[in-house]
Structure 1
Amino acid sequence: MDGIGVAFHAILAIMGGIATIGGGTAVLMRWLNPYRKMRQSVTRHGELLDRDQHRLDDIDEYNRVMGGCMLALLHHEITGNDVKKLEDAKAKLQEYLLSR
Structure 2
Amino acid sequence: MNFTITTDQIIWFCTFIGLLWGLYKIVKEAKKPNDELHNLVEKHERLLNKDNQRLEEVETSNQMVLRCMLVIINHEITGNGIDKMKEARDELQEYLIKK
Amino acid at match of 2:12: A
- Is residue 36 of structure 1 aligned with residue 38 of structure 2? no
C-alpha distance in 2, partners of 1:44/1:38?
10
Give SS of 2:6's match. helix
| Superposition TM-score, scaled by structure 1 size | 0.91
Fraction of identical pairs, as percent: 29
Give SS of 2:66's match. helix
Q: Which runs of 5+ in 2 are unaligned?
A: none
Q: Partner residue of 2:15?
A: 16
C-alpha distance in 2, partners of 1:35/1:20?
24
Q: Which runs of 5+ in 1 are unaligned?
A: none
Q: What whole-Å deviation, never above 9, does each CA across 1:39-93 have from its counterpart, x for those lacking one? A: 1111111110111111011001101111110000000000011101111110111
C-alpha distance in 2, partners of 1:81/1:92?
19
- Is residue 53 of structure 1 aligned with residue 52 of structure 2? yes
The number of residue pairs the alignment matches comes to 97
Deviant stretches of 4+, over 6 Å:
none
Task: Give the deviation of 1:16 after TM superposition.
Answer: 0.7
Higher relative contact order (CA 8 A, sep 6+): 1
| Superposition TM-score, scaled by structure 2 size | 0.92
